Amino acid sequence: MRLIPLALVSACIVVASPSRASAQDAAPDRSGRFADPTGGAYTSPTSLFTPAAALPSLMPRLTVGADFQSYVAPTTPAANQIDNVRPFVNAELGLPARFTIAAGTQWFGGDRSNAADRITPFAQVRWQFLGAANGLGLLGGASLTYKRVGYHGGENEVEASVSMQYRQARYELGLQGTFGQSITNGDERDIEGRVYAALRPVPALALGVSAQLRGDLGEEDESPAAVASRCAAGRSEVDFIGGAVGSFTIDRWQVGALVGATTLGLCDGAAFIGQVQGQVRF
């Protein structure tokens, strides 16, 4: 089973004032909807993190990009080569009452194959339960995601997440916890934790680090045959992704990148992983 992101869980219960909620829910003024040079609280500098903040009501956003992985484990014959490329495209829409819906294909997928068939389609609904309309201070959000790891012969999975962010003009921090459950195999589940921290030398530029740690829950068959089978499939009980991230925003446009290391799809060792993405809001 391969679940994304998503061992850190944070909860905070705060009642937002009606005036703030109404400001967030109202359809944005098109003349000023792109005025925030950071791109908005709903745009985190790393795609490893699900934003706590909701898109403004009726605002669509499109994200396209690709991630690249080079297996460098000692047992991999073609080490130090980019041998796994996964394109992705995601579309989101802000709704009233601080909801956001999204659908597309996932980055850093649950797949461990370079075949296009292993790209992970998903559908998601998010809700922002905490935070001011200006996107500063403490923000909280929850999300529910359905995905299928592979179009043919893949697994159906559901993930529930809680995201917390703290944003100021010159820096921001994020913490996310996720529980994942396989629909295909009811005995397979995992938990994931994601963190990021970024500084803004200027409002439009974010530079920082991001990481994700995933661990299986439940008992695994530890017989030699079962261990060998999991290893051959690139499955491990714990996976890690981490690296440096950056993003730059101009008006409605944003570009971002991640460069780091991962153990996804590897029985031992690690691999280079990178991602480039572009976003546009309408």
Distance separating alpha carbons of residues 254 and 131, to the nearest angstrom: 23
**CB within 8 Å of 160: residues ≥ 6 apart:** 142, 143, 144, 145, 178, 179, 180
Please state the domain extents for the chain: 18-281
Distance separating alpha carbons of residues 248 and 255, to the nearest angstrom: 6
Q: Which residues pair with 105 in a beta bridge?
A: 121
- CB burial string 106-117: b at 16+ within 10 A, e below: bbbbbbbeeeee
Task: Identify which of 259, 250, 254, 262 has the alpha carbon closest to the alpha carbon of residue 35.
Answer: 250
Per the document, the length of the chain is 282
What is the architecture of the domain spanning 18-281? Beta Barrel (2.40)
| Torsion, CA 246, CA 237, CA 155, CA 256, rounded to 10 | 0
The pairing of strands 84-95 and 253-262 is unpaired
Cα–Cα separations (whole angstroms), residue 252 to 84, 249, 272? 30, 7, 31
Per-residue pLDDT in tens (0 to 9) along the chain, 282 residues: 444 343 333 333 333 333 333 334 433 444 457 778 888 889 888 888 999 999 999 999 999 998 888 765 444 444 445 567 788 899 999 999 999 999 998 755 444 444 455 577 899 999 999 999 888 999 999 999 998 875 555 678 899 999 999 999 999 999 999 999 988 777 788 899 999 999 999 999 999 999 999 988 876 666 777 767 667 666 678 889 999 999 999 999 999 999 999 887 777 778 888 999 999 999
